[in-house]
């Protein structure tokens, strides 16, 4: 919708050659209002679609020094990808020895607070290209994290969720995904509270 407004603005601003500078100013003000309103409407639509205001886990304690120990990586047969850092990791792993095309994924990012983590989750959900968005999962379906969305897609369980100030995405068979989620949850729970605001919260790897 923003693109349409931009193209419309380019056309309408040509009227300045006929109506003068004051017309141009009025049109700019009107179109700025329309664009801003479109952005707010789109954001509100995203939040209402996923019931964002009622997500559990808001105002959770922020953690830092979250361990991702070597045995965690070897246990799940993972490989770290390029571009990972102390506050964000992406791991790839094979869970089907008979089909190397089956490539699982673990993505974790630690943010400054639970609000930022949940906004990251909201943006992730909105970015998905699938026509049917994943539903919110209850504790019987997925007992980890504060709020989780997921579904089985192409024979693979794909879940995105937050725990405290950590945003997590897992693509793997359901059984494997729950094992990984259990280990991550354990390490988040035992991690210290983030108190030194001069340094960003981070993982220990």
> Given the structure tokens 């919260």, which residue do they identify?
201
Largest CA distance in the chain: 72
Tell me if the domain spanning 66-204 has CATH number 3.40.1000. Answer: yes
pLDDT digits 0-9 by tens, 172-204: 999 999 999 999 999 999 999 999 877 889 998
Residues 204, 182: Cα–Cα separation, whole Å:
18
pLDDT at 10 over 80: no
Q: Would you kindly state where each structural domain of the chain is located, as residue ranges?
A: 2-49, 66-204
Residues 134, 20: Cα–Cα separation, whole Å:
51
- Partners of residue 172 on adjacent β-strands: 157
Q: What is the pTM of this model?
A: 0.75
Tell me the backbone φ, ψ of residue 125, rounded to 5 degrees: -60, -40
pLDDT digits 0-9 by tens, 64-120: 999 988 888 888 888 888 778 889 999 998 776 666 667 899 999 999 999 999 999
Burial (CB count <10 Å: 0-12, 13-18, 19+), residue 167? buried
Please name the helix (run of DSSP H) or strand (run of DSSP E) that holds residue 44, with its range, or none: helix 21-49
Length of the chain: 205
pLDDT digits 0-9 by tens, 14-37: 444 444 445 445 544 554 444 444
Indicate the DSSP class of residue 134: P
């Amino acid at each position: 919708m923003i693109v349409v407004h931009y193209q419309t603005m380019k056309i309408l601003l040509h009227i300045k050659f006929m109506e003068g500078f004051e017309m141009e100013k009025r049109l700019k003000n009107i179109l700025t209002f329309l664009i801003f309103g479109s952005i707010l409407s789109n954001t509100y639509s995203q939040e209402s679609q996923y019931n964002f205001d009622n997500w559990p886990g808001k105002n959770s304690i922020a953690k830092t020094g979250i361990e991702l120990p070597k045995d965690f990586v070897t246990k799940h047969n993972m490989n770290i990808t390029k571009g990972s850092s102390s506050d964000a990791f992406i791991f790839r792993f094979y869970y089907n020895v008979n089909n190397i095309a089956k490539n699982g994924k673990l993505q974790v990012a630690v943010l400054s607070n639970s609000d930022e983590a949940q906004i990251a989750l909201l943006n992730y959900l909105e970015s998905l290209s699938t026509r049917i968005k994943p539903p919110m999962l209850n504790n019987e379906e997925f007992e980890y994290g504060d709020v989780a969305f997921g579904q089985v897609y192409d024979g693979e369980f794909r879940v995105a969720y937050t725990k405290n100030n950590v945003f997590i995405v897992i693509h793997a068979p359901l059984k494997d995904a729950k094992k990984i989620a259990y280990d991550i949850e354990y390490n988040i729970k035992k991690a210290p509270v983030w108190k030194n605001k001069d340094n960003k919260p981070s993982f220990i790897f």
